[in-house]
Amino acid sequence: MTIRYLSLAGEFNEQALPLYASRVPAGFPSPADDYIEGRLDLNKYLIQKPAATFFARAEGDSMIGAGIQPGDLLIVDRSARPVHNSIVVAALDGELTCKILDTHHRCLRSVNPHYPPIKILPGSDFSIEGVVLHSIHHHVRVSGL
């Protein structure tokens, strides 16, 4: 899965939208509940450290098993400490990729079994650009997104 850099989180303005108190069942419909719990700013909800956060667009199918689809928006935190099995955006020999960090075997793993692990060899140009905290998946593709 390759990554396309979009922007820094600090470039967006605060926008609070209604948050309904009732849960939305994914099974049978229930009577509507008009009670609004409060206002929700997705920037505050999804971004812990705006100065250290960037957005990237996922490309490819190597992370589908982790719920990351081609075209999904990744919210990546540079300040988050990557640990074994973290989903990371890494730079390896000049290429950005989104993979699972396997510290036990010194490699980057895909979730899709059709892709072999990528070994991190001594002397390779390797860095972790950040930890993927969230991915946003569009169920209906909107042009321009």
Q: Among this protein's residues, is 143 annotated catalytic?
A: no
pLDDT at 17: 46
What CATH number does residue 59 fall under?
2.10.109.10
Does 38 fall in a domain? no
Q: Is 11 helix (H, G, I), strand (E, B) or coil?
A: helix
Does 127 fall in a domain? yes
Smallest CA-to-CA distance from 75 within 12, 142, 19, 122 is with 12
Specify the residue for token string 């390896």: 92
Provide Rg for the chain, Cα atoms: 18
Catalytic residue among 7, 49, 79, 99: 99
pLDDT at 38: 73
How many structural domains compose the chain? 1
Does 144 fall in a domain? no
Q: Say what the pTM is.
A: 0.74
Contact 1, 59 (CB under 8 A): yes
Catalytic residue among 30, 49, 62, 119: 62
Q: Report the 10 Å Cβ neighbour count for 110.
A: 22
For residue 59, give its domain range.
Answer: 2-10+48-136
Please report the DSSP string for 86-97 in residue order: -EEEEEETTEEE
Q: Among this protein's residues, is 62 annotated catalytic?
A: yes
Specify the residue for token string 């905290």: 133
Does 119 fall in a domain? yes
Does 145 fall in a domain? no
pLDDT at 139: 80
pLDDT at 140: 74
Those residues of the chain that have pLDDT short of 70 are: 1-36, 141-145
Specify the residue for token string 């059709």: 114
Percent of the chain scoring above 70 in pLDDT:
71
Contact 107, 117 (CB under 8 A): yes
